[in-house]
């Protein structure tokens, strides 16, 4: 074959075949961010933070009062119940008031605003109807068990929930009862003569004092667990309790 003659195509090639390069893969569009919705109205937010600060001060002043006689029961008599802090005086850093009279002054000064804000929040729940989303009912028991399995990592998928899951409802219902208990026992040891019937209801002055002290540590335990779960499970709920608006992965209404 001479150099001027064109080369014949190979026998196994298709003259109609056109090389097509595959289209480059494109990344899926980013998911739209969740819409911000109103989760907590201002009465709930104001009373939440007010009671948190008031409770902190009342615990500090209560520990100052406890230090004046750090045990339960009459002097020389057996203790009324288990108390890991029997005879223990808490560090100055966690006490408020400096001495017994100062602790009493702080405790009484903070107790009344605590009661007022609690009653205001209760009234808000009743008027707005939001108590329905907080009240724990017997039908919530299976849901609470499923949520507990999820928290213990024995269940992979998060159980469906409304504004609050069943365990949160149980905790909030319990903390309401605990608030009533701490207030009632507080009045029982504040006015043991004028409110003798109330003091007797709790088994006398010393037992009312014991139940009041126990309520303090239940409040402390609830608060610590509450804060941990907020940061671990749903950090967006912290912003919602400050601004009222929620942009997270859980519903804001039942």
83: left (phi over 0), alpha (psi -120 to 50) or beta: beta
Mean pLDDT in residue range 66-73: 90
146-167 pLDDT tens trace: 998 988 888 888 888 888 889 9
Tens digits of per-residue pLDDT, 174-225? 999 999 999 999 999 999 999 999 999 999 999 999 999 999 999 999 999 9
Q: Indicate whether 22 belongs to any domain.
A: no
For residue 32, name the pLDDT band (cuts at 50, 70, 90): very low
Total domains in the fold of the chain: 1
136 within 8 A of 166, measured Cβ to Cβ: yes
CB contact at 8 A, 65 and 102: no
Among 72-81, 163-172, 194-203, top mean pLDDT goes to 194-203
Residues 173 and 203: beta-carbon distance below 8 Å:
no
Measured CA to CA in angstroms, residue 65 lies from 69, 80, 83, 101 at distances of 8, 18, 16, 8
If phi > 0 it is left, if psi is from -120 to 50 it is alpha, else beta; for residue 74 that is beta
End-to-end CA distance of the chain: 87
Give the CA distances from residue 217 to residues 85, 116, 139, 183, in Å, rounded to whole numbers and listed in that order: 11, 22, 29, 14
Least confident residue range of 27-36, 86-95, 227-236, 238-247: 27-36
With respect to residue 44, please indicate whether it lies within any of the assigned structural domains.
yes
Three-state secondary structure call for residue 155: coil
Mean pLDDT of 11-35: 52
Structure confidence at residue 22 as a pLDDT band (50, 70, 90): low
Instruction: Tell me, yes or no, whether 15 lies in a domain.
Output: no
User: Residue 86: which residues within 8 A CB-CB, separation 6 or more?
Assistant: 70, 71, 72, 79
CA separation for the pair 239, 210 (Å, rounded)? 37
User: Distance (Å, rounded) from C-alpha 34 to C-alpha 249?
Assistant: 8
Task: Encode pLDDT of 99-145 as tens digits.
Answer: 999 999 999 999 999 999 999 999 999 999 999 989 999 999 999 99
For residue 254, being part of any structural domain is answered with no
Average pLDDT, the chain: 86
Any domain includes 226 = yes
Looking at residue 144, what is its pLDDT? Answer: 92
User: Facing residues of 246 across strands?
Assistant: 37
Residue 124 lies in a domain: yes
Q: What percent of the chain has pLDDT over 90?
A: 60
Measure the CA–CA gap between 57 and 102, rounded to whole angstroms. 12
4 occurs within a structural domain: no
Global model pTM greater than 0.85:
no
Decide if 13 is inside a domain.
no
- CATH classification of the domain holding 144: 1.20.950.20
What are the backbone dihedrals phi and psi of residue 38, each rounded to the nearest 5 degrees, phi first? -75, 120
Range of the domain at 121: 39-246
């Amino acid at each position: 074959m001479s150099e001027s003659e064109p080369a014949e195509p190979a026998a196994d090639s298709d003259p109609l075949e056109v090389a097509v390069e595959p289209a480059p893969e494109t990344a899926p569009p980013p998911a739209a961010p969740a819409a911000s919705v109103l989760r907590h109205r201002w009465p709930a937010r104001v009373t939440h933070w007010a009671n948190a600060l008031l409770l902190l001060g009342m615990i500090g002043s209560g520990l100052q009062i406890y230090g004046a006689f750090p045990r339960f029961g009459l002097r020389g008599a057996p203790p009324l119940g288990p108390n890991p802090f029997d005879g223990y005086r808490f560090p100055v850093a966690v006490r408020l008031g400096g001495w017994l009279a100062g602790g009493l002054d702080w405790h009484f000064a903070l107790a009344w605003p605590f009661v007022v804000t609690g009653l205001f929040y209760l009234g808000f729940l009743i008027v707005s109807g939001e108590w329905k989303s907080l009240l724990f009912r017997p039908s919530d028991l299976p849901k609470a068990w499923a949520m507990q399995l999820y928290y213990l990592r024995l269940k992979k998928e998060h159980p469906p929930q409304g504004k609050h899951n069943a365990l949160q409802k149980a905790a909030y219902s319990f903390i309401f009862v605990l608030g009533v208990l701490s207030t009632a026992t507080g009045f029982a040891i504040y006015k043991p003569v004028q409110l003798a019937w109330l003091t007797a209801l709790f088994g006398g002055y010393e037992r009312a004092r014991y139940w009041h002290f126990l309520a303090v540590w239940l409040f402390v335990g609830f608060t610590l667990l509450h804060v941990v779960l907020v940061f671990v499970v749903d950090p967006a709920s912290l912003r919602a309790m400050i601004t009222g608006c929620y942009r997270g992965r859980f519903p804001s209404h039942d």
